Structure 1
Amino acid sequence: MSKETPCVAVCMIDPRTKLCFGCGRTLPEIARWHAMESAERLSVMALLPARLADAGLQPIAASSKRT
């Protein structure tokens, strides 16, 4: 995966916050991610840790996926 993506291949949306548990993006952000300019992607990525923390969510790491 590109370094300009927060995706950890854990795609589950929290029904309360509408944020992805894996990366913290919203569905609209995920949908248009590849159409965003690099600067916009990096800007969104900088917001994700605080966004998840403010929502009270712990990101699900890719290594914690069930097999």
Structure 2
Amino acid sequence: MNRQDRVASPCVSICALDEQDVCIGCHRTGDEILRWTQMSNDEKREVLVKVAQREQAVSL
């Protein structure tokens, strides 16, 4: 797999988990952060959908 095919991490270098175990920077759970490098691209895309939903919920 070449570099262009990889799904980029949503990390923004603001690493702090809230009381729901969700990072306030990238909106991934602690488990999603830990497992990111072992996930397939499909799994990463699924996480990114959840990240977008979490981010939208916070901004409401």
Query: What TM-score comes out, normalization by structure 2 length?
Result: 0.74
Please list every run of 5 or more consecutive structure 1 residues that lacks an aligned counterpart in the other structure: 59-67
Structure 1 CA distance for aligned equivalents of residues 15 and 53 of structure 2: 19
Aligned pairs, number: 55
CA-atom RMSD, angstroms? 2.1
Q: Cα distance 1:12–1:57, how it changes in 2: closer, same or farther (>3 A)?
A: farther
The runs of at least 4 aligned residues of structure 1 exceeding 4 Å deviation read: none
Identity of aligned residues (%): 33
Is 2:14–2:24's contact at 8 Å kept on the other side of the alignment?
A: yes
Deviations 1:27-65 (A, max 9, x none): 1111110000011101111221212333x368xxxxxxx
Of structures 1 and 2, the one with the larger relative CO (CA 8 A, separation 6+) is: 1
> Which structure has greater helix proportion?
2
User: 1:1-67 to 2 correspondence within 5 Å?
Assistant: 4-15=8-19, 17-54=20-57, 56=58
Any gaps of 5 or more consecutive residues in structure 2? 1-5
